Structure formats: structure tokens, C-alpha cells
Chains A and B, each alone.
Chain A
Amino acid sequence: MNLKWIISGLIPLVLLIGVLALVLINGAGIEKDPAAPVEVLNIERIKVTYEGFELSVSNTGPETLTISQVIVDDSVWNFSVSPDPTLNRFEDGKITISYPWVMGDPHAIKIITENGIITEGEIAAATLTPEASWSNFLNYGFIGFYVGIVPITLGLLWYPFMKRFKRKWINAILALTVGLLLFLFVGTLADGFEIGAEAPSVYQGNMLVIIGAALTFLLLIGFDQYQQKKQEAKGYSPFKIAFLMATGIGLHNFGEGLAIGSSFALGEAALGTFLIIGFTLHNITEGIGIAAPLLKTKPSIKHFLILGTLAGAPAILGTWFGGFIFSPIWGALFLGIGAGAILQVIYVITKMLVEDHRAYKEPSVSWLNLSGFTIGMLIMYFTAFFVKF
């Protein structure tokens, strides 16, 4: 061991610690007292009960805060906070408000801290928040079932029809699948950002989406390459591509389930029902997409069942999660993971398409493929009208 060598490594480290300590102790030299109190209260979830409202809140600001008043629908109201109206940094609290809410009406809740900082919460249409009862659990499961598994299975049913296509047409359908997936990718990212924006700012919901997407994408690609190297197989096995696709779409459908479950939990039954119809129609096309890579092979019915379940069942988990334990932070992370998984499938299919055309010495962006891709995008664009309004 060379002592000099070790010391040469330690010197910069010690100096760095010294500089940091200096800044921490003396400040950066331009510090001032903040002009206004910085109090950040975050409403995580509003539960509507027989008695009134229960708000889960957390102090995500830099300082301790005290909840002093609650105004419901422009009326000062009695409330209690457990464990205490004074919340330390990152401390959670539960505000209980006894209030005669009206079924189906919107209600607005303002929480005012000692320094007059107002945090607003909203109930779009009041209805009892579903309790985690067995019957509710089953009902949410059913919704997930016919939003996820049913339409995807229906989509897979086109398989025998598509089976008779020639190679060129099969490739066009694969291109169409890329179109579908690209749309789903962007949509899932956007949903992630939307939900992420609702999370407390310290958790940086948007970054969670990006991190989730990037890591998932790279992990799946890495895993894929490792598998191929191990098997020394050339090219991708079609079933594996369909399998990967089903996984990616499954994560995306988790997000759909999340949207449905949470809209019911937030009392927006009409929106929830609309989402169910929209997603169901939308998801038929996902079944077509999953079937596309298998067109050159002869899969068994078991394969279809696995694929349908893999892609559809996460919708069930999503509705449960959204209905009973939803929080924007988790939502953002899951949607990020979904987007990453979809991106990886896009990558794999595109690569496969390009390689296939190269083998036949054809241009990979043929007019037929371009049309397929465009039609894929357009199908998603128009079926999405059922969901967005």
C-alpha cells in the first residue's frame, strides 16, 4: 500500500468537506428571511363519509405549520386534526370535518394555516367514498375485467382473420402496431405527468415518471439482450415479442384501471362510466396489436389466454389501487413504468421490421408500412375521443 497514494486521494475529499461545512455554517452570503411564510400543506386524499369529510394532509413545506381554520363551501366550519393541528415537516395529519354534504353536489374545502396560507381541496360530486368492502372489491374487479381482459380477448379474436395475410401485409400490421403503441406511449407519459403534477412538489412527480420510464425501458432492453445472448438464438421469437407487448400494454392498462378506480373514488361516477366505455373500445385495438407478431407462427389457445390475461388483468389491479389506495406519487411512478415498457416494445418491433425487410432487400419504410403506421395512430386518435372530452 502506498500511503502517498491514499493521501493524494483524501486531500481533495477533506477540502470539499471543509468548503461544504463553511457554506452550511455561514450560509451563502446572500441569505435573507423569506418575505412571506413558506407553508406548504398537501391534501393527499379526501374521503367522504356518513359524518362528513376526512382529509389526509401532509406538511411538505420547509417549516412547521399550524392548521387554524377550515372553510367548507364558503362557510367557516368546526374541525379536528389528529394527531395535532401543528404539523412538523413531512408530518401527516388527518382533518375530520363533520359536514352535511349533499349527494352529487360539488363541495370546496379551504384549509387555512396560522399565517393565512390557504390550501384548497375539491370534491367534484359528493358520494360516499367506497370502503374496502368485499362487495366493492368484487365490483371494482369486474370493472377491471371487462375493461382489460374482455376487449383484449376480443381483439385477439381477429387472429384467424389476419392469419391469412401475406408477409408484406403482416409487416404492415406490425407497422400499424407501432403506430398504436407510439400513441399509447405518449398518452401514458402525458397521463403520468398529469397525475405527477398533483403530487406534492417535493416528490417531483414529473421526474418520477421520467425515471420510471427510462429505467424500465433500459432494464427491459438489457434483460432482453441478456436472454438472447444466453439462448444464442438469432432474432426474436414472435411469442416473446407478443409476450413483451402484452406486458407493456398490461402496465399501460394498469394506468387505465387507476384512472377509472380513482374517478369513482373521487365521486365522479359519470366520468368513471365514460372511461369504462372508452377504454373498452380502445383496448380492442390492443388485442390486434398483440396478435400481430404471432401471424407467422401457430400459437395455441393457451398462448392467447396468457397474453390476454397478461395485458388485461393489470386493469383489475389498477381499479383496486385507484379505488382504495390511490396516491399521485404511486400513480406517476406506475404510469412512468408503463410508458417505459411500451417504448421498449416499440423498439423491439421496429427493429424486427427493419431486419425482416433488410433480409429481403426491401426498404423498411414502404408505402404499405407507412400507411399501416398512420392507420394505427389514427385508430388510437379516434378511439381516444371516447375517453377524452
Chain B
Amino acid sequence: MSEESNLSRRDVLKLGTAGALGLAGSYFLNNLAPFSTSVKAQSHRPNHSKMNHNQMVGNMTKTSGYKMAEKLLTTFDYGKVSKLPTGQTLREYEIVAIDKEIEIAEGIKFPGWTYNGTIPGPTFRCTEGDLLRFHFINQGSHPHSVHFHGIHPPEMDGLVPISPGQKFTYEFEAKPYGMQIYHCHILPLARHIHKGLYGNFIIDPKTPREPALELNMVMNGFDLDLDGENDFYTVNGYAFAFMNYPIKVKKDQLVRIYLSNLTEFDLLNSFHLHANYFTYYPTGRNDNPSQFTDTIMQCQGERGILEMRFPYKGKYMFHAHVSEFAELGWMGFFEAE
């Protein structure tokens, strides 16, 4: 490289010209280039037309989680029934805590803690005034208990931890009639409940309710990465459980839903019915002020009975009215025939 060449005035001029060209170039190119602080709208042919609700629900096979949710919808556990010498009805139930992996959405396994192997646990059912014996066996890896809502002696309240491998029998008289729930009450509470230890507990009034198609629904959620936020919201433990296979009802038939909210990490959950109204009985009490509405909300642990008839044939959607919960799995259909 020659280092001896002179830098003449001409060279300086040349340099100056190059620099000026560069400046001008950068100015004009800046306008030419498609990048500015404001983003220009591009012809974005959206695919909205394809966005029906099928966009979310995967394939049509009933996986194990789907079947579990369906089974819980219509299965009630009345226990082993016998008569005491006093004439009182005795109901004995078996309730076993089991660590079990549950499918909570298509293809997603959740390492759950269950009562009798499902999330939620079985729906226990009895009549007001019955004597109840719950034989609890802890086969899980942690101490657990069963805390029932209702009126009973404090020593039957399920605050005492039952160690793994231990048994305990909860015994009390069923009262008051209405809709109760049960869940584990061992610390840390949020973890024990969120893992799946809860279920519905129905005490029927002595005068039976009007015959109806009876359904059991527990609203719940699942936090997979334990960040205190649910990744899926479900009814009876499976996301979009009644989307591909709607709950079949008959036109004008009375439908009664026993609904509870056991969603952890969110303050409230809700139930919204499309194209119809229902009567809501808080805590399942006929003597509570009821509501005629299409949307109700429940706080954690709150529950009630919904009664409705479907006046037209066809599919009626139901879901949480919080859109996020709905789109993360808490959504389904009734189909009136």
C-alpha cells in the first residue's frame, strides 16, 4: 500500500462530495425504506371466517379425561345403605386419597392428588337426617383429610391430618339439606385443593325435589407450571369436555344442575347459558332468594342448583362468562332433542 501519495485539495473535495452524497442518500433512502416508527397497515387477509368454535377443540376421540368428565356428570354415590335399629338410614362411603395422573386436556397429563382416582372426586349423595359414615383411607404420599361443608360436630370437621397409610372414619348426621362440597383441609391449603382433592356433596331434602335430568358440575382449574395462574379451566376436570359431545337433554324436560366452584387461584368463576334462562338456588336451598337469570357467579367454595328447560331443539352453549376461562377450556354445549 502506498502511503506516500499526496492528499491534494482535489482529494478533499472528492471526500466532501462522497460525504454529501452519503448524507443525501441516507435522507432519501429513509423515505424509501418501508420502515418507519408508525407501522403501515398491510393487506392482512385475515382468516376470521374460519374461526368457529371448532378452532379450539382438537379431534373427536373421547380420551380418558373426556370420559372421566362425562362420567362425573351423571354419577352420584349414594353409599352402602342400611337401616339402624332406630329406623334412621345409615349410609357408608369409601373415600380413598390416591396420587394419580389425570388427563385434564387433550394429551396433557396432570400429576394430581385425587379422591377415588378422579378430579373432582365422587359426588356423594344422601337425604337430610341420614347418618353418614365416610371411611377415609389415605393412600397418597402426603397427609390429607376430608372437610365436609354442612353442620356437624367440630371433631368431624376434617382439620386433623390423616397420614399416608392411615384411616379415619368421619361420622355425622346429614344436615342441612341443600348443596354442599367437600375438600382436603391440610396446609398448604391452596396446594392440597388445587391438586384435585375436592368434590360435590348433595343432601336431598326430605320431601324429594321434582323429578328432573340431574347433572353434576364442578368448576375447576389447573396450574401446570405453578406460577399461581391456571393454564386450563374445566368443568369436571377436562377442558372442552362437552364441546364435541354435547350434553343431551329433551326439549322442555326439567334439567337440574348441581354446580360448585372449586377453582383455585381465581377469586370467582361463573356459569353462563346461551339462548335460555334458568332459576338459581344459592346453596341449593328452596328458601333462599332465588334468581331467574342466564349468568351467575360463584366465589371459591360457593355452590348452588340451576334449574332450566330448553324450549327449542338445538345446541345451547354454556361457559364461564370470563372469556379467558372459556377459551382455556370451560365451555360446552347442551343439545335439546
Contact = CB atoms under 8 A, between A and B. Distances in A.
Nearest to B36: A273
A78 B3 contact: no
A52 B47 contact: yes
B3 A299 contact: yes
A274 B35 CA distance: 11
B56 interface: yes
B114 to A, nearest CB: 16
Interface residues of A, number: 62
Interface residues of B, number: 58
Interface stretch (B38-46, B79-87, B165-173, B174-182): B38-46
Contacts of B267: none
A103 B19 contact: no
Contact of B109 (A98, A115, A240): A115
Interface in B48-70: 48, 50-51, 54-58
A125 B36 CA distance: 14
B37 interface: yes
A299 B5 contact: yes
A149 B22 CA distance: 8
Contacts of B36: 269, 273
A299 B3 CA distance: 5
B26 A280 contact: yes
A110 B54 CA distance: 19
B5 A159 contact: no
B224 interface: yes
Contact of B56 (A78, A160, A163, A297): A78
Given A125-B39, A298-B3, A299-B5, A146 B26 contact: yes
A310 B329 CA distance: 57
Contact of B39 (A74, A76, A151, A269): A269
> Which A-B residue pairs are the 3 nearest by beta carbons?
A68-B107, A75-B327, A146-B26
Interface of B: 1-7, 11-12, 14-16, 18-19, 22-23, 25-26, 29-30, 32-37, 39, 41-42, 44-48, 50-51, 54-58, 105-111, 224-225, 231-232, 239-240, 324, 327-329
23 contacts: A52-B47, A71-B231, A74-B328, A76-B56, A76-B232, A77-B55, A98-B50, A100-B48, A100-B51, A103-B41, A103-B44, A114-B107, A139-B33, A143-B35, A146-B25, A154-B23, A160-B7, A239-B3, A240-B1, A269-B36, A273-B37, A298-B5, A301-B15
